[in-house]
Structures are given as structure tokens and as C-alpha cells.
Chain A
Amino acid sequence: MTANGSQTVSTADSSGARSDAAMTDNAPLGSPRVDDAVIESRDLDVFYGDDQALHGINMDIPEHKVTALIGPSGCGKSTFLRSINRMNDLIDIARVDGDLYFHGKNIYDDDVDPVALRRKIGMVFQKPNPFPKSIFDNVAYGLRVQGKDDDVEEQVHTALERAAILDEVEDQLDSSGLDLSGGQQQRLCIARAIAPDPEVILMDEPASALDPVATSKIEDLVEELAEEYTVIIVTHNMQQAARISDKTAVFLTGGHLVEFDDTSKIFENPESDRVEDYITGKFG
């Protein structure tokens, strides 16, 4: 599967008739190649024990854009996200085959240190998970562990400002991050992720545990972040993907990437019938 897939990736054909062939060749429908790719996934398989969670994922992720990964539960979108910064390494039974390039370097090469990689690719999790430390120390955490804390005061303020939470917490930087509301906690976590200035920010359903007002704040923030960072966001919420993303990848059927294209194309005129059914709510 891996062997023949790698030769046919570049010829992603966009005719609907090739649907089945494309699946076996691991090339999704749509336009999986982009010119300014910062991350390139080639025939990426992920296994949890004997279960295969991802089947030969081929896609490019463009720089300074918001790329949304959507699909029903268990479709592998979060698994794919975690394989980008090698968080899957923390799961004992997870195993990865295939290649994933970051700036042209395969991050699954033996000489790649996952800790160094994660300093370039930050992450925001589904459930807000601030440390039981002060707001200041939360944001400073990444700076300190990475040894970038020469000017920690200013960097913390900048990060809080970029995460659109500075106004709300400026007077209480010494109080615990756990005293904030859920939405504020999530923006604090975003501030923590961007403080050490990574290139890519991975977001795993960052708004799924939040109320609508907090959600819309996060969405605004995601669009702003794309000016400086490459954002990859997993979401259950199709309207959210349509609102905030430039590119959308649709994962279906237990770990297959079915279609990947500009968000407008995916939502207005998808090539795959199954994607159309999913988008219009016929299943999933």
C-alpha cells in the first residue's frame, strides 16, 4: 500500500470517476498539493496496536493559512493532528508508517528529536488544560522550558495580547489560571502555545467544550493567528470549519482522507458524493 501510493501521489486527478481508484492510491479527491506547503504528509499510516487509525494520508498543508480537519467521530482527524507534532509518541501502542515532512524534513527520521519538533509546532487541546500555576507562569512555561525567557515579562504580555485575553487578566497575572472561566482558560492555553513563537499551531477541537460566546472569540482569534502562524484545526463543527478555514480536509470511514480542497469548494461543490452527504448532514 505504501509502496505504490508514494508513486501516484503527485497525480491527484480530480475527476469524480476516479473516486475508487484514488482511494486505493491514497490520493484524496480535490487538490491535495499546494505550492507553499509547510507540512507534507505522504502515505501516512497510524496504528494503535492492531487497529489502523489512518490509511495512507496524502495532503499538503499551506503556510499561514487555516486548515480545518473535519469528519465524524473516530475518523482519525485527531490522530492525524497528533502525528504532526509526534504527540502520538506518548501513546505506547501507537505506531506510524509513511512520511511526514515539515519544511522538507521527514519528522519521523531517526535523527529528529520530537521535543525540538514540538518547539516549532505548538498545540492547543480540546479541554482547556492550564497548569495549576499563576496566569503569568502558565504563559511563561513554554518560554522557560525552551530557555527563551530572557525578556519573559514582555513576551508573556505579547502572547496574552495576541491571544486576545490581556485586557481581561492584566490585573490578575499572579492569580491561578484555574480561576478563569472555560473560555478564558482556553485563550490562556492559546497564549501559552504561541508564547515561544512556534511556526505551526495545532488545535484539537479547541472550542468544543465552550459556550457559543467563548466559541466565537476563539474563532475570531484563530483567523487572526493565521496572519502569523500556520493553523491546523480539528473540529466537529462544520459551520465553524466553513467560517474560519481556508482549506478543509474531510476524513471519513475509519481513517481515510476522502477530499481535501479550498474550504469554499468543499462546502459548495465537493467532488465526492459522500463528502456532500456528510456536509449536508445526511450522515455522520
Chain B
Amino acid sequence: MSTDTDTDSFDFDGSALRRKRLLGKAFVGACFAATMVGIVALIALLVDVVTEAWGWLTWEFLTYPPSRFVENYNPANYGALDTGPGGIYPALIGSIYLIVLTAIFTLFLGVGAAIYLEEYAPDTRLTTFIETNIANLAGVPSIVYGLLGLAMFVRALQTGSSLLAGALTLTLLILPIVIVSAQESLRAVPDSMRRASYGTGATKWQTIRNVVLPEAIPGIMTGIILSLSRAIGETAPILMVGAATSMFAPPRLTQPTDAFSAMPMQIFDWARLPEADFQHVAAAGIVVLLTILLLMNAVAILIRNKYNRRR
């Protein structure tokens, strides 16, 4: 360090820098390790879950209702059963319907709110206040939304512990994220597009419908799907609105007031049961949940890539 301040000699081989180089390398190593912690943990989790579930995840598991008896889940016993095999079917259907209803509600409420805030709302302090609060709501713990759903939908609106109450509660939970991401997508549409539309004599609504929304919709869809994949794994809110841990019949989409179960509830129910083999059953349920979650994320990525390439 003391020699490299000498301006008369030029340090050709950079020997005076060696210590700094080592420091740089150590830093890269630390960053790499930090990255690997996350990835290794995820892989370990996946390997653990998949090996636990191996042999227990069958077609019957997907298509039959749950059972009280752990033997019913074991594929080796399927032939000898009086009742049917045990499975996750009602919870799987419950989760899918929950997501379908939540998707419909968030699409209209989230996109509507984002369009209003971004395109129509006057630039006042009230608007800023609302926008700030929406961003804050995204950080509220999900159990609080569960309590809100219990008070508002189950009790006040008398929906009971139904599919509808669950979907509305999950909608409230992800709405702030959907609104914020939809606003960002709308803001990303260049103003030159809007001006071009107004310049040809289009009204505001025509401009939004024909120019702004088509440009923003891939980003909006990506945001909605990613939020939904968060919602499908949420347990606390649907626990609060009273989703069943185990149901023998799936809810009907045409009857949104049906009681329902969802995969996180069912998995929790299995995991707390004393028989050791139920851990395999729970693992099989987790694999189903993770598969649906990863499929949804893949769809979001596909949409994003498809529309990014078009530009």
C-alpha cells in the first residue's frame, strides 16, 4: 500500500493491487454463497417433499375425497379397500374454484381501480393519499384480511363460510398488489401513443380501450397471475373465514355459497395427524399445490415473453 503512492515507478504487474483483488474475490465468493443458500434450501425442500410423496401421489389421490384412515391413501392397499381410496379431490377443486372466482373479482376491481387512478383521477392530494394507502395495504398481514373477511362477508353479508366468502377475502388480500402492478403497466404505455390516438380524434375512452389497454394488458395479466399464485397458497385468510379442513364433496362453481376446503387447509389437516404415514400424504398434497403454483407462474412468464418479443 505504501509503495503504490510512488508516482515515479509504474506498477506493471499490479502487485500492489493484489490485496484489493483478493478482497474483491472474497466479496464475490460471499455473494455467491448468499445466492446458493436460497437455491440450496429450495432444492432441499423440493427433494425432501418429492421423496416423501413418491409412491403416494397417484391418479386416485387426485380424484378421490380424503379419508380418516391412513391405509386408504396407500396405493398398495387400493385393491383391498371397502371404501374408495383417499385423496385430495375436494380440496383441489375447492382451490381451483377459489382462484377462478378470485381472478374474476380482481380482474374487474383491480383493473378498474388502476384505470381510474392512472387515467381519470385528478392529480390531487386525495388521489395521492389513496394511492399511498393502496401501496401500504399490500403489506398488511394476510390474517388481518381473514378477520376482515369474517366480519364483512361471513357475518355482515351473511355469505356463511362459503366459497364466495373465501374468494372475496382473497380478492381483498391481493387487490392492492394487482392495482399497483396494473397502474405500473398503464404508466409504461408511452404518452406518444395516447397523443397519437387523441390526434386522430379519439375520445378518452376510445384511447384507453383501443390503445392503452392492449399495450398494458400483458403486464396486467402477469401481475394478476403472480398475485393469484400467492393467493392459492394462503392459509390464514381462508382459515379465518371458516374453510373446512376436510370436505368429502367438492363445492360447485354454480353454488358459490357451498362450504369448501382448499389445499393448504387439507395439507395442514394431514400434517397434524399422528400416524406417521400421513406425512407422506401431506407431502403428496404439497406436490400438487406446488405444481399448480409453478404452472401459474409459467403461464405468467409465457405471457410476458410472448408480448415482449412482439415489440
Contacts and interface: CB of A to CB of B under 8 A. Distances in A.
B192 A122 contact: no
A87 B195 CA distance: 8
A79 interface: no
A115 B201 contact: yes
B200 A196 contact: yes
A166 interface: no
A119 B194 CA distance: 15
A144 B201 CA distance: 10
A125 B198 CA distance: 12
A118 B195 contact: no
Interface centre among B123, B192, B201, by most A CB within 10 Å? B201
B23 interface: no
B210 A125 contact: no
Interface stretch (A63-71, A126-134, A213-221): A126-134
Interface residues of B, number: 21
Interface centre among B192, B196, B310, by most A CB within 10 Å? B196
A145 B215 contact: no
A123 interface: yes
A204 to B, nearest CB: 10
Contact of B202 (A115, A125, A178): A115
Contacts, number: 70
Which secondary structure dominates chain B's binding surface? Answer: helix
B195 A125 contact: yes
Nearest to B209: A145
Interface in A174-211: 176, 178, 189, 192-193, 196, 198
B199 interface: yes
Given A129-B193, A132-B311, A193 B199 contact: yes
Contacts of B215: 132
Given A90-B198, A125-B192, A189-B196, A145 B311 contact: no
B36 to A, nearest CB: 41
A149 B214 CA distance: 21
B203 interface: yes
Contacts of B211: 131
Nearest to B203: A115
Contact of A87 (B190, B199, B206): B199
Given A142-B200, A145-B206, A131 B311 contact: no
B69 to A, nearest CB: 59
Closest 3 CB pairs of A and B: A119-B201, A142-B200, A123-B199
Interface of A: 85, 87, 90, 92, 115-116, 118-119, 122-125, 127, 129-132, 141-142, 144-146, 176, 178, 189, 192-193, 196, 198
Interface of B: 123, 190, 192-203, 206, 210-211, 214-215, 310-311
